[in-house]
Amino acid sequence: MAKTIVVKQIGSPIRRPEKQRATLVGLGLNKMHKTRELEDTPSVRGMVESIPHLVEIIEERG
Could you read off the pLDDT of 2-60 as tens digits, one per residue?
899 999 999 999 999 999 999 999 999 999 999 999 999 999 999 999 999 999 999 99
Report domain 4-61's class: alpha beta
Q: Where are the domains of the chain?
A: 4-61
Range 12-39 burial, b when 16+ CB lie within 10 A, else e? ebeeeeeeeeebbeebebeeeeeebebe
Instruction: Supply the pLDDT for residue 62.
Output: 87
Residue spans of alpha helices (H) in 7-55:
18-26, 42-50
Instruction: Supply the pLDDT for residue 46.
Output: 98
